[in-house]
Each structure stands twice: as C-alpha cells, then as structure tokens.
Amino acid sequence: MSKKHLAILLIEDDPIFAAALQALLKRKSIFTFDLLHATTFAQADKVLLQTQFDVILLDLTLPDVSGLDTLHAVRKRGVSCPVIILTGRDEEDLGIQAMKAGAQDYLLKGEIDGRLLSRAITHAIERARLIYEREDFLATLTHDLKNPLIGANRVIELLAERKIGDLNDEQVNLLTHIKNSNWTLLTLIGNLLEVYRFEKDLDTLYFEHTNLMQIVNNCMKEIAPIAFDRNIQVTKEIADESEAIVLADADSLSRVLRNLLDNALKYTPSGGQVKVSVSSSDDIVQLSVSDTGPGIPEEDRKHLFERFWRGRASRRHTPGTGLGLYLCQQIISMHKGKISCTCPSEVGTSFVVELPRENTILAG
C-alpha cells in the first residue's frame, strides 16, 4: 500500500531549525511529502495565494508578525487546512492560546523528534477532517431548521395580528412569547451558519460603501417587538456631525449589531434601557451598544470573544451557544476594525465597535 503524499508549508525564520525539521521528517515520516519553507509571513502569504496545503507548521515569532497575530494572519487568508504551532518552552502558554484560537496542535521545539512530528501531522489532518465533516453536518442541519421556523413565525404573526381570526388579549400575548422564542432560536441558528461561513469560505464577503445608520435603523426595527414585550426602552444617540459611511459587508455588520442588541435585551431587566450610539471622526466610525443590565465580571470579560465560551450567569439563565460574540469579533476583524467590552460602573455593559472609513481589505 503506497504512502499518502502531503503538501506541507513550514513558516519558520530559523533556516537551521527548518533544515533539521525537514531531515527528521524524511527519516521518520509515515507519508511522503513536498515541503515549502517560508522565513517570513510575507513570503508565506505569496505562497498561500497560489498553493493549497494539507498542513501548515507555523512559528509564532516571525520577523514581520508575531504572537497570535501570526495565526490570525494565516486564517485571514482563508486557509482551512490544519495548523500546528512550533513554539519554545518559554512560550508554551502561547501554544495553548493558539489552540484555543483554532490551531490543531502545538509542539515544543526542543522536544520534537521525527516520529512525534510525523504523528502530530497525521493526527492533525485527521482531526481537521472529522471537524470539517461534523461542522458541515451541523451547517446543513441548522439550515434545514431555519426555514420552518421562519414560516412558523409568519403564521404566528398573522394570528397575533388577528388577520386570520379574532383572539383575546391573553392568546395574543402567548403567541407573541412563542414568536420571540422562535426569533431567539433563529439567532442561534444564524450564528452557527455564519461561523461556518467565516471559517470555511471567507471569500463570500462583499465589501461596498455602506451607511451604518441604515443598518442601525433596520436592526432596531427588528428588535422593537421583543423590547416592547420585555418592557425595555431602546434608544439611539447619533452625533450631529456623524457620517457613518464605511467600506463593509452590510449583511455581516447587521449580524454583529443584531447579536449585540440580542445580548443587551437578554441581560437587561424589565424597565431597563438599551442605547445604540454612533459617532465618527475623520478615520473611524464608532458604534456602541450599552445596557443597564447587571454588568459582566472582570474575570469573565477577558474570555468574552472565545469560541463557545459562556459566562457562569449566562449558562444558568439564558439560552445560547457561546458563538455570538466570537462571531462578532471574527466579522469585525475581517473589516480591520476592533470590538471591545467595558463595564463603566457597577451596573451596565457597553460593547464598542470601531470601523475604519476606508480599509485595505480588498487589496489584500
């Protein structure tokens, strides 16, 4: 039985270590391979535009980019193959963080031998294949669940508006609760589909000059019935001089704002307030969503944007997948922007999104 043949990209700035790594693989690998070596991310970037690989071996300390930014830079190229991190013993924590950020494995440079490296590559490829099949199944399943929920909500809306027949106030109230629950499910389904989209097919983004105010108005209109049902006042505050035009994928930014509004409504008690603010400068358009909920503990805030992470309070009291804020960060990162969370007082949370008016994402 012939050995499997792999295409490997090694991104490592130390040529001596790179040569030693290749020699180890030649002696001990259980597969044949072609290995391309890049010493900087700029070199790797050119290769990634032209060639597909089965696995990437990535040093996180390169001359032109370092730390987790190195992994993010690779992922922003739309690379879906598994990535194995090469790190020193004094940077083992960074390797663990990289795995949380999407790397398949990490290896300590001083402890690598040929058999270990060969096995790590084989296992990483197999794990990536299994994850892809699982997520592909979940994407298909969630897509199939979406349309029936939308159809059910349309019927519920007709009933609640008494367009099909007369109902008493208690029945209308019950239907409204069912409709709001369905919208919560639709948000969760949408997050799952969007995460799959961003991680598997980044080229589906369509950037154009977009009026952020139109997105704000549309999203506020969508959540108005839910806010009314929960007795929460939603307001907007727009700076007079604000010209909120950004180069963006409008659908994706709408997803970000819907997620932030959904979170704000979820954690704000009855009688509370949610405020959407937009301001701008020559270079930046800033969007913020603030609420009067209980706030987020400091120890939880540092994990907010991690994949599948949910705080203790949200796990106990609210439905969710832990993907909403992770998705928001992925989208904003693709727009060369920033998203952050602050709790300026003992009560309330503010999520702030900063977007450049013009960015270079289309150019690369």
Tell me the per-residue pLDDT of 200-245, one tens digit each, with 9 for 90 and over: 555 467 788 888 989 999 999 988 888 988 899 999 988 765 578 8
Look at residue 229 and give its three-state secondary structure: helix
Q: How far apart (Å, rounded) are the C-alpha atoms in residues 49 and 336? A: 20
Residues of the chain with CATH 3.30.565.10: 205-363
Look at residue 231 and give its three-state secondary structure: coil
* CATH for the stretch 205-363: 3.30.565.10
Residues of the chain with CATH 3.40.50.2300: 5-131
- Predicted confidence (pLDDT) per residue in 102-129, tens digit: 888 999 988 888 889 999 999 999 988 8
Report the amino acid identity of residue 114.
G
Superfamily of the domain at 5-131: Response regulator (3.40.50.2300)
User: pLDDT: is 151 or 45 the higher one?
Assistant: 45
Return the pLDDT at 142.
Answer: 67
User: pLDDT: is 360 or 289 the higher one?
Assistant: 289
Return the pLDDT at 362.
Answer: 44
Average pLDDT, the chain: 82
**Stretch among 61-75, 88-102, 302-316 having the lowest mean pLDDT:** 302-316
**Stretch among 190-194, 232-236, 304-308, 357-361 having the lowest mean pLDDT:** 357-361
Give the CA radius of gyration of the chain. Answer: 24
Return the pLDDT at 338.
Answer: 92
Q: Which residues of 237-249 are buried (b: 16+ CB within 10 A; e: fewer)?
A: eeeeebebebbbb
Pairing of strands 273-280, 245-248: unpaired
Q: How far apart (Å, rounded) are the C-alpha atoms in residues 158 and 163? A: 5
CB 14 within 8 Å of CB 58: no
Return the pLDDT at 308.
Answer: 55
User: pLDDT: is 276 or 252 the higher one?
Assistant: 276
Q: How far apart (Å, rounded) are the C-alpha atoms in residues 147 and 29? A: 48
